[in-house]
Amino acid sequence: MTTGNPPGDFVQVGATRDGLDPYLDCARRRGMRAVLVETPAYLRWRRLLGRREFDVEVAVARPQDPDAVRAALTAAAVVPGLVLTGFERYVYAGFALAEALRVTPWPGAGVDFRPLDKREQREALLRGAPQVAQPRFLPMDLGDQDAADGLGFPQVIKPADGGGGLGVLLVDGAAQRGRALDRIRALANYGGGAFSGIVVEEFVKGPELSLQGVAQHGGAVLLSVCEKLTCLEEVPGEPGLSGFREVGHVARPGTDAPPELHALAQACLDAVGYRAGPFHLDVLQGPTGPVFVEMGFRLSGGGLVALVEKTTGADWAELAFASHLGDAAPLRAPSPDTGTGTGGVAGQISAVSEAELAAAEALQEPGITVEIRRAAPPPDHSALPADDLSVLASDLARHTGSAGRVVVSGGPADRVPALLHSLVAHRLRG
């Protein structure tokens, strides 16, 4: 797809950690120069990983600072026409930069819109969409742990502006909560720097879902709904303290989503004032219906852009990109992409061992397609300066260690989740 008169350079603040870089493809189809802003350390890490290069790569020590990004772009003779975010850590800076420069997605995403952190999202829903169920929560900025006892146990402790599960911990009592808080306060956010705050919330047990969509003129269009496969893993050096790790997803078309999920997505967009662009929502299926967990104002990572396309035939990045540039037709949720043989259901797991990959290779059933995408051997960390390892500490903890990705599609709708569960049942939490 090509449009005339590209509006300027495409600037992506933050690299995708799954390496898909779908916005890079969108920009090149339009003849736009593609610019990536990242820390010097992560740019060096990307090169070791063998990731595709952008036309221009701008090193900024603090990409979370929109003023620093703006100054670096000016020095590099970059003229932004569209600014989007590739990684959760920098979504706040990306939108602030677009507003400061008066370029897309401002004001289409909302004249007064700014992305809210996890605490602010909860507070916005309490004000603007009280009908949306969410866990009881408290900010821990002031260290008032006694008040949090009223939430009961177990509890989930999380940074307000983390991503990729960084620092999200499950605790069973006040003593564990104290250890969890100490642990989070000792962590650095991606790219360095402190978290904006910490949230403690009641633990709601139930199936976990993620919703992938695009906002257009304030309307929520759900492309897909994923069942999340999640495991608990012990925090290194912290016996008895556990965090969460996403193992995989099973995706179904948004057209199959129950009405309450469509209503929840629309209520969330309305409450935060987000009118245009990609979004994702994490929810729990509680005893009385869906329970809001958090919302992101970007494409999901973890290979989900490819999984959405596998399931529905829809290019999530292209729909978002075109919507921002005004060359998109009115959106509607795509139908199942039965033409590719998925039957509208596809799933993936991130394998952590050769044993899991071997088990996947042994999955043979009529009508089932199993794709195994082995990860490249991890780069030698010794090739990086010591300062880089410090900056990359959170990335190395949360975005490395995969032996490959297994994608399963086709066959009866219930077989995909059953087969994926069989591969990782030993890791999944109860």
Q: What is the pLDDT of residues 216-239, one digit of tens each?
A: 999 999 999 999 999 999 998 888
In the numeric block, the tokens 């809001």 are attached to 292
Task: Report the distance separating Cα 424 and Cα 215, nearest Å.
Answer: 34
pLDDT confidence tier of residue 405, bands split at 50, 70 and 90? very high
110 part of a folded domain: no
Query: Which H/E stretch holds residue 389?
Result: helix 386-391
Q: Does residue 346 share a domain with residue 222?
A: yes
Position 143 scores a pLDDT of 56
Within a domain: 88:
yes
In a domain, 113, yes or no: no
Same domain, 300 and 405: yes
Question: Looking at residue 246, what is its pLDDT?
Answer: 94
How many other CB atoms are there within 10 angstroms of residue 318's CB atom?
Answer: 18
**Which of 85, 101, 117 is at the close of a domain?**
101
pLDDT at 424: 94
pLDDT digits (tens, 9 = 90+) for 365-398: 899 999 999 998 888 877 788 999 999 999 999 9
Query: Are residues 216 and 305 both part of a single domain?
Result: yes
367 with 271, same domain? yes
**Helix boundaries (H) for 35-188:** 40-49, 66-75, 91-101, 118-128, 145-148, 174-186
pLDDT at 335: 64
Q: Cα 42 to the chain's mean position, in Å? A: 18
Both 285 and 344 in one domain: the answer is yes
Write down the pLDDT at residue 107.
Answer: 96
Do residues 199 and 302 share a domain?
Answer: no
- Arithmetic mean of pLDDT over the chain: 92
Q: Are residues 189 and 294 in the same domain?
A: no
Domain boundary among 177, 203, 229: 203
pLDDT digits (tens, 9 = 90+) for 128-144: 999 999 999 999 865 56
Residue with tokens 């952008």: 54
Q: What is the pLDDT of residues 26-37, one digit of tens each?
A: 999 999 999 999
CATH number of the domain enclosing 183: 3.30.1490.20
Do 353 and 315 have their domain in common?
Answer: yes
Name residues whose C-beta falls within 8 Å of residue 79's C-beta, 6 or more positions apart in sequence.
8, 9
Closest CA to 388 of 47, 30, 31: 47
Q: Is a pLDDT exceeding 90 seen at residue 3?
A: no
Confidence of residue 197 (pLDDT cuts 50, 70, 90): very high
pLDDT band at 430 (very low <50, low <70, confident <90, very high): very low
CA atoms in the 13 A half-sphere facing the CB of 217: 6
Q: Are 286 and 264 in contact (CB under 8 A)?
A: no
Residue 123, domain member (yes or no):
no
CATH label of the domain that carries residue 26? 3.40.50.20
Q: How far apart are CA 84 and CA 89, in angstroms?
A: 13
State which of 181, 203, 225 marks the end of a domain. Answer: 203
- Give the Cα-Cα-Cα angle 308, 314, 319 (nearest 5 degrees): 110
The secondary structure of 267-314 as a DSSP string is HHHHHHT--SEEEEEEEEEETTEEEEEEEESS---TTHHHHHHHHHS-
In which residue are the tokens 């993936």 written? 348
Same-domain status, 220 and 87: no
CB 395 within 8 A of CB 166: no
Instruction: State pTM to two decimals.
Output: 0.93
> What is d(CA 247, CA 227) in angstroms, rounded to the nearest whole number?
11
**Would you say residue 340 has pLDDT above 70?**
no
Residue 353 domain flag: yes
Total domains in the chain come to 3
CA distance 353 to 347: 18
> Residue 224's domain is classified under what CATH number?
3.30.470.20
Residue 333 above 70 pLDDT? no
CA 10 to each of CA 25, 73, 124, 126, 324: distance values in angstroms, whole numbers, following the listed order: 11, 11, 31, 36, 12
The 10s digit of each residue's pLDDT in 89-132 is 999 999 999 999 999 999 999 999 999 999 999 999 999 999 99
pLDDT at position 328 over 70: no
**Based on the domain organization, do 208 and 198 belong to the same domain?**
no
**What CA–CA distance (Å, rounded) separates 162 from 170?**
15
Shared-domain flag, residues 404 and 263: yes
| Domain-embedded: residue 243 | yes
Indicate if 44 and 57 belong to the same structural domain. Answer: yes
| Domain extent for 172 | 136-203
Structural domain contains residue 187? yes
So what's the pLDDT on residue 411?
A: 87
Q: What residue has token string 């292209």?
A: 318
Task: Supply the pLDDT for residue 2.
Answer: 41
Please confirm whether the linkage preceding 105 is cis (ω < 30° from 0).
Answer: yes
Residue 126 lies in a domain: no
Under DSSP, the state recorded for 285 is E
